[in-house]
């Protein structure tokens, strides 16, 4: 029987590319199996961002098929809205913002309750750090009246903290000569140029923006007394201390408010994936500490505690395995 030339050509092509033909579907399966993880952080001059970069690097190495990336954002409120919308898989948030999101506090930036949110871990605390130029004459909260201040990006976790604490101190934004809504780095640049008297930054201790400011000029770290913190009336706000020498020229410890940070995730991510995410972070904690000293405040035994939203089942599975959750 005469052989069809076209059929013979196809058979020769298949014979020559047999290995590739077998491998191609396998590589396609791998591509479809890739898990994309977006980590919503904060401004690049804060603590969330470098810590998010470190977590992303950990996930890329430790979780099979993970494709992890970091997104710089305006902070807690934006991060939680991104999670609810399915546009991120992990996000940093202050505890008070997380509580507001769960309840749907419109004034805080949440149009409706964000019920898809789940917690992966309680991490380190943010400290409300109110820093003034030494030549501004500001030494107390009362001295802020009539001065210019930056309170963080609009409706960021920092700005929510500013509103709450200033209100407790009997101050409103109308009491300032000027209020700027700027990320940490931009706030510091204005202070360096003598265009701003003070900045309020809610961040881990030793935040790079304030280290930069203290290295360039004399600063005053303004105390937030315990009675002011109590007047906030929110259990998320606790008394804390900024230790002496956290910043250049700051020779005494300064009392202030601290607020627990959380890593939030969302409903719909598989139990196995979130288990791997949680385990990878806690088995690589030294890498987080290397990224930023604030990570020294992360404790495995405290990680499943005190969240205003439910733990993700995958995180709970890891904490039970690690013996810190019954």
**Which pLDDT value is given to residue 45?**
84
Please give the CATH architecture assigned to the domain spanning 35-123+261-321: 3-Layer(aba) Sandwich (3.40)
* Rounded average pLDDT per 10-residue block, the chain, 326 residues: 47 42 39 80 92 97 94 95 98 95 94 98 96 97 98 90 96 97 95 97 93 97 97 93 97 97 97 98 96 93 95 98 96
d(CA 155, CA 191): 21
Domain with CATH 3.40.190.10 in the chain: 35-123+261-321, 126-259
Residue 76 structure tokens: 């807690």
| pLDDT score for 9 | 45
Backbone angles phi, psi at 213, to 5 degrees: -65, -50
Residue holding tokens 């500490």?
289
Gap between the Cα atoms of 226 and 239, Å rounded: 6
**265: enclosing H helix or E strand:** strand 254-266
pLDDT of residue 34: 77
Chain CA centroid to CA 170, Å: 29
pLDDT at 155: 81
pTM of the model: 0.81
The 3-state secondary structure of 3-36 reads CCHHHHHHHHHHHHCHHHHHHHHHHHHHHHHCEE
pLDDT at site 12: 45
Q: How far apart are CA 136 and CA 267, in angstroms?
A: 48
pLDDT of res. 27? 38
Q: How far apart (Å, rounded) are the C-alpha atoms in residues 125 and 141?
A: 22
Q: What is the largest CA-CA distance in the chain?
A: 103
Structure token pair of residue 175 = 């009491």
- Residue 33 has a pLDDT of 60
Q: What is the pLDDT of residue 55?
A: 98
Q: What confidence score (pLDDT) does residue 10 get?
A: 44
- Give the list of residues 6+ apart from residue 154 with CB closer than 8 angstroms, or none: 74, 181
64 CB-near residues (< 8 Å, 6+ apart): none
Architecture of the domain spanning 126-259? 3-Layer(aba) Sandwich (3.40)
Strand partners, 129: 201
Query: Whole-angstrom Cα distance, residue 144 to residue 171?
Result: 9
């Amino acid at each position: 029987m005469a052989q069809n030339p076209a059929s013979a050509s196809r058979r020769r092509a298949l014979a020559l590319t047999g290995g590739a033909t077998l491998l191609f579907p396998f590589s396609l399966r791998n591509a479809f199996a890739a898990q994309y993880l977006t980590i919503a952080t904060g401004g690049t001059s804060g603590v969330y961002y470098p810590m998010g970069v470190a977590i992303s690097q950990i996930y890329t190495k430790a979780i099979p098929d993970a494709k992890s990336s970091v997104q710089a954002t305006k902070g807690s409120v934006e991060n939680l809205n991104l999670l609810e919308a399915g546009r991120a898989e992990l996000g940093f948030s202050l505890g008070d913002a997380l509580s507001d999101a769960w309840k749907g506090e419109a004034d805080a930036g949440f149009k409706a309750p964000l019920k898809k949110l789940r917690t992966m871990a309680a991490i380190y605390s943010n400290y409300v750090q109110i820093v003034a130029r030494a030549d501004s004459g500001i030494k107390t909260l009362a001295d802020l009246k009539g001065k210019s201040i930056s309170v963080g990006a609009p409706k960021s976790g920092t700005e929510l903290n500013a509103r709450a604490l200033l209100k407790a101190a009997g101050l409103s934004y109308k009491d300032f000569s000027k209020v700027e809504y700027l990320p940490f780095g931009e706030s510091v640049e204005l202070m360096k140029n003598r265009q701003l008297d003070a900045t309020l930054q809610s961040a881990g201790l030793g935040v790079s923006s304030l280290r930069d400011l203290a290295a360039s000029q004399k600063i005053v770290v303004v105390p937030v007394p315990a009675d002011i913190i109590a007047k906030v009336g929110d259990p998320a706000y606790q008394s804390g201390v900024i230790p002496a020498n956290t910043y250049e020229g700051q020779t005494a410890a300064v009392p202030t408010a601290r607020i627990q940070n959380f890593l939030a995730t969302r409903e719909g991510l598989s139990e196995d994936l979130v288990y791997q995410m949680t385990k990878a972070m806690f088995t690589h904690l030294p890498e987080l500490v290397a990224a930023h000293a604030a990570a020294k405040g992360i404790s495995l035994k405290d990680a499943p505690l005190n969240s205003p939203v439910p733990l993700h089942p995958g995180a709970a599975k890891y904490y039970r395995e690690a013996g810190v959750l019954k």
